[in-house]
Amino acid sequence: MALSLIAEIMGWADDSQSEATREYAWLRLMSTVKYDSYSDFRAGIRFVESLATWLKQFEPEDREVAFRFIRERLVYISVAEMQCLIEAFVPEILTPNLRQIVGQDLGIPAYDVWATKKGAETFRKRLRKTLFVGMSDGSRIDVLRRANSGRLSQEQVVPILNVDFDKWRDLAENLEGDQGMQPGEKFDSVYLIDDFTASGTTFIRNVGGKWKGKLKKFNDIIVNAKNELKEQFPIVDNFDLHIHHYISSAQAKKNLNDRLKAAEAWEQRTYGSWAISEGLLLPTTLPVSPATDGAMINLCTKYYDNQLFERLRKHCEENGQTTMAFGYADCALPIVLEHNTPNNSIPLLWADTDGKGGAHPMRSLFHRRDRHG
C-alpha cells in the first residue's frame, strides 16, 4: 500500500516492467538496510510513509528532483556504519598516536615500540594514562567501552562532560592503584570524543571576543577542578589534547584547526599540544552546490520557511548567516545520522514548520530533535 502511495504521488505507471517496479525494489532494500531504523520513525510510519508525506509537499513537477536527490545524493549513516566508526577509533586512531608518542619518549621510531619489553611496557602505561571523555550522547561511549572491553579500563572513560570532584578523585585513585603505576601517577593525554561536526562551531567559537563552545566548557571544568583538588587532580599540567569526531566535514576540520590555533592564546589554557582526528572525513564535494545540484538548490529556496531562521536568529547571526535555507553555517550537507539529522544538513530534509504568514509549511523526511526549539 505504501509503495502504491509513492507511485501515485510520483505518477509512476503501474505495470510490471515500469519504473515503479525498479523503484519499489530499491525502496524496499534501502528501507530495510538503512532508513527504517531512523530513531524518530515509529511502527506504521517509517521511511516509505515519511517519504510519501515529504514528497506530497512539493508540486508534482518538483517531485522527481526531490526523489532523485534521496536516491542519488543522500548520505545516511546507519547504525551499522556508525558502529564501524566507533570500533575503528582505538585501533586506527588511538594506537598509532600512542606509538608515535612512545617512540618520541624513547627516542626510537614509532614502529619499533613493540620490539623491546621497555617499549611495550611504556606503551601499556601510556595507554592507561589516557582519559576518554564523551562530549554528547552521540559520542556513544557505551559502544566504545564495549568494543574495547579488556583493552581500555572502565576507569579511564568518562561518558559525560560534566565531571564532578568525586569522580575526579575516583579516577586518580584507580589510576594510581593500577598495575605498574606509582602514587601520584596522572593522566597525560585526554581524548574528547563526539559524533559529528559540520562547522566546528559547537566545539569552539569566538563571539564578540568571548570564547564559547564545548572546548571552552571543558577547559573551565579542568580549571575549577584543579583549583579545588590541587595535587589530587588526576591530569598533568599541559596534557596532550586530542579531539576526535566519528564524522567530520572538511569545512569543520579546517575551522577547528584555525580556531584551536587562535585559542592557544587563552590565558587559562590547561592543555599543551592538541590534535584533531576523525573516523570519516566527508569530501569537500559533498555539500549541495549550484554546479551539481542546481534543481535541488531551487527547491531548497522555493520551499523554505523563514521561521527556521527566526527560531535560531541569535545563533545564525553570531555566525553571520541571513537565511537557514541551506542549514546552520550554510553547510548545505545532504547527510542524516541514524539518531538525528544535523541542522547543518539542508532543512528540506529535517525541518517541520507550521507555515505562518503564508509561508510554505515544511514537512520533514527525517524529523530532527532540535536543542534550540
- Footprint of other proteins (CB under 8 A): 22, 25-26, 28-30, 32-34, 73-77, 80-81, 84-85, 88, 91-92, 95-96, 99, 109, 111-117, 119-121, 123-124, 127-128, 149-151, 153-154, 179, 279-280, 282-283, 285-286, 335
**How far apart, in whole angstroms, are the C-alpha atoms of residue 10 and residue 53?**
12
Instruction: Between 13 and 120, name the residue whose CB sits nearer to other proteins.
Output: 120
Residue reference for cell 569537500: 284
- Nearest approach, Cβ of residue 69 and other proteins (Å): 12
- Nearest approach, Cβ of residue 122 and other proteins (Å): 9
Decide the pairing of beta strands 205-207 and 210-212: antiparallel
Instruction: Between 143 and 229, name the residue whose CB sits nearer to other proteins.
Output: 143
Write down the number of H helices and E strands in the chain: 15, 9
**How far apart, in whole angstroms, are the C-alpha atoms of residue 239 and residue 241?**
6
Closest alpha carbon to 106 in 185, 275, 98: 98
Instruction: Between 104 and 238, name the residue whose CB sits nearer to other proteins.
Output: 104
Instruction: Between 130 and 340, name the residue whose CB sits nearer to other proteins.
Output: 130
CB 120 within 8 A of CB 145: no
Closest alpha carbon to 223 in 239, 243, 210, 208: 239
> What CA–CA distances, in Å, run from 183 to 131, 144, 173, 257, 318?
18, 28, 9, 36, 47
- Nearest approach, Cβ of residue 23 and other proteins (Å): 10
Instruction: Between 17 and 179, name the residue whose CB sits nearer to other proteins.
Output: 179
- Nearest approach, Cβ of residue 316 and other proteins (Å): 27
Vertex 66: Cα angle to 61 and 69 (nearest 5): 140
Instruction: Between 160 and 250, name the residue whose CB sits nearer to other proteins.
Output: 250
- Nearest approach, Cβ of residue 329 and other proteins (Å): 19
Which three three-digit cell numbers place residue 274?
Answer: 592538541
- Nearest approach, Cβ of residue 106 and other proteins (Å): 13
